[in-house]
Amino acid sequence: MTIKAVVFDYGKVICLPPAAGVMDELASLAGLPVQDMDTLVWKHRGEYDRGMITGQAYYRNLLSHGGVFPDDALLERMLQIDLDSWKRINPATITLMEDIKAAGYKLGILSNMPHDFLAWVRETISVIPLLDAEIFSCEVGSIKPENAIYEILLHRLDCKAEEVIFFDDISENVGKAQTLGIRGFLWKDPETARETLHAWGVSKKEPT
């Protein structure tokens, strides 16, 4: 079946991975081993990305599980370090997205993202006005890899699952997309993604 839409995750896809040392800095501020800090950050992030709690509440909760009880100023500092680490945009991914849209395909973003960061994305990322579907977990109350967020994506794109290609850096999210019939691919880099798209007939030629 002809591909009609291409969808991208945000973290480590549209943006580059956080710079080396970010987790070390957070761990140092918390007074925790780096591995413990990394585990806590990701174990408790779901409700923050779902839009159910604030960033400070998220950090207060995850640190309490590590036996750390910081004041509001430290919570805010740690949260800002976290959010700033996701602001390094990959220009090659942006170019790829622009090329896809220029070729006549629908374009989307499907991302687990909290309210604290979404405002910056909408103000900053140049491809936002080009999107046919922008699905951010905090606005729909569902996070990847839950079925609901993918179903919302397909509804907003007005496409069948098999008409959509989706790139994500997390294998579990790709796997869920595939179980729903979406053409899911694990992200490596923009060049590999472009090769994948060409193999599926997504090029500068208008889709039929």
pLDDT at res. 205: 52
CB neighbours (10 Å) of residue 122? 12
The model carries a pTM of: 0.95
- Given a cut of 80, whether residue 43 has pLDDT beyond it is yes
CA distance 188 to 45: 24
Pick the CATH number of 5-16+88-199 from 3.40.50.1000, 3.90.245.10, 3.40.50.1110, 3.30.1060.10: 3.40.50.1000
- Given a cut of 90, whether residue 56 has pLDDT beyond it is yes
pLDDT single digits (tens) 6-21:
999 999 999 999 999 9
pLDDT single digits (tens) 150-188:
999 999 999 999 999 999 999 999 999 999 999 999 999
Whether the bond into 145 is cis, omega within 30 of 0: yes
User: What are the residue ranges spanned by the domains of the chain?
Assistant: 5-16+88-199, 22-84
Specify whether the CB–CB gap between 104 and 207 falls below 8 A.
yes
